[in-house]
């Protein structure tokens, strides 16, 4: 079986560049989303801090973000009917899971790229080195400098893969910590608004 190693080497580098662009987009999108949710979470915390215990069911949560909508739904449900303890726990657990899912959306992309990028870079390097040695063995290259350039070009894939993974890992860790902070704050809000 004969296949064009140089083509697959180039494809692996192109995919790594696509990974970098996707990482950048997801990191910026999640950072902006978390910043906006953080502002809204602080507003909710200030509102709840000025409310007497037991009077939280009368609160109105304004806003179209996931935190305000979920708290509004929770307070509205408590106003509508006398909820027993089991129903309160079920509703709060369901709302928490929904908020956690929405807040953590797209973080799996970062995790996947962090895992795949070094492997794809290594594959690109192996294919590039194989192509260089294949050209050397067929007598096509007699200049040692050309061999060095071929190997250096092949190693570009490894460097790009590791760089992509490091960028993604840093972004993932920072964003994951912010997501955890937001979901923990929401859990606190649920506890404060339980009537």
Identify the pLDDT of residue 49.
83
Q: Helix/strand/coil (H, E, C) string of 175-188?
A: HHHHHHHHHHHHHH
SS3 56: helix
Phi, psi (degrees; rounded to nearest 5) at 116? -80, -30
- pLDDT (tens, 9 = 90+) of the chain, 195 residues, equals 567 778 888 899 999 999 999 999 999 999 999 999 999 999 989 888 877 655 555 667 778 889 989 988 888 887 776 667 778 788 889 999 999 999 999 999 999 999 999 999 999 999 888 888 877 777 666 667 777 877 888 899 999 999 999 999 999 999 999 999 999 999 999 888 876
Q: Which two tokens stand for residue 123?
A: 């594959």
Q: Which two tokens stand for residue 167?
A: 């960028």
Given the structure tokens 């990028």, which residue do they identify?
A: 117
Identify the pLDDT of residue 14.
94
Identify the pLDDT of residue 37.
95
- Helix ranges restricted to H, the chain: 5-49, 66-80, 85-103, 107-137, 144-193
Identify the pLDDT of residue 2.
67
Distance CA 16, CA 29 (A): 20
Question: pTM, whole model, 2 decimals?
Answer: 0.84
């Amino acid at each position: 079986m004969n296949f064009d190693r140089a083509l697959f080497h180039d494809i692996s580098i192109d995919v790594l560049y696509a990974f970098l662009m996707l990482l950048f987009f997801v990191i910026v999108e999640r950072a902006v989303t978390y910043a906006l949710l953080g502002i809204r979470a602080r507003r909710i915390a200030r509102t709840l801090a000025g409310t007497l215990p037991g009077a939280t069911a009368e609160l109105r949560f304004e806003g179209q973000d996931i935190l305000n909508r979920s708290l509004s739904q929770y307070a509205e449900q408590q106003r509508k009917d006398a909820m027993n303890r089991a129903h309160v726990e079920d509703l709060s657990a369901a709302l928490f899971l929904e908020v956690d899912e929405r807040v953590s959306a797209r973080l799996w992309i970062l995790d996947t790229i962090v895992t795949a990028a070094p492997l794809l870079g290594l594959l690109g390097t192996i294919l590039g080195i194989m192509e260089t040695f294949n050209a050397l063995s067929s007598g096509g290259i007699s200049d040692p400098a050309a061999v060095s350039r071929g190997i250096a070009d092949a190693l570009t894939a490894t460097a790009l893969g590791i760089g992509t993974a490091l960028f993604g890992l840093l972004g993932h860790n920072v964003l994951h910590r912010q997501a955890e902070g937001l979901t923990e704050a929401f859990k606190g809000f649920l506890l404060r608004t339980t009537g």
